[in-house]
Amino acid sequence: MAGLGTDGGLAVSNTQMSTFRKAGILSIAFLCLGFVWIELSHFHRYGHLAPLGLHADVDVTTSNDVIGVDGTAKIYHAKLTNYGILPASIIVCELRVSGAPGTDLNYVVERWDRESGEWKFVPEWDFYGSRLFCRPVFEVTEEHLARRRLWPGQSINVGEGVPGQLGGFRIGDRGRFTVFLNADGNGGKAVSSPTFLIDQEAKRGRRYSFLPQ
Burial of 37 (0-12, 13-18, 19+ CB in 10 A): exposed
For residues 10 and 53, give the distance between their C-alpha atoms in angstroms, rounded to a whole number. Answer: 42
Whole-number Å distance between alpha carbons of 137 and 148:
22
What's residue 41's pLDDT? 78
- pLDDT for 133 equals 81
pLDDT value at residue 52: 86
Q: Are 63 and 148 in contact (CB under 8 A)?
A: no
- The pLDDT tens digits along the chain (213 residues) read 455 455 554 455 667 667 767 766 766 766 676 667 767 778 778 888 788 899 999 999 999 988 888 889 999 999 999 998 899 999 998 877 777 788 889 999 999 999 999 999 999 888 655 566 887 665 566 778 899 999 998 999 999 999 999 989 999 999 999 999 998 877 789 999 999 999 998 887 555 554 443
17 by DSSP, 3-state: which? helix
Angle at alpha carbon of residue 201, lines to 140 and 68, rounded to 5°: 55
Bridge partners, residue 177, by sequence: 109
Q: What are the Cα distances from residue 170, in Å, to 95, 120, 127, 200?
A: 33, 14, 19, 7
Query: What was the pLDDT predicted at 97?
Result: 72
β-pairing verdict for 100-104 and 88-97: antiparallel
* Cβ–Cβ under 8 Å, residues 101 and 186: no
**pTM of the predicted structure, to 2 decimals:** 0.76
Q: Are the C-beta atoms of 115 and 109 separated by less than 8 Å?
A: no
Task: For residue 145, count CB atoms less than 10 angstroms from its CB and return exposed for 0-12, middle for 13-18, buried for 19 or more.
Answer: middle
pLDDT at 170: 93
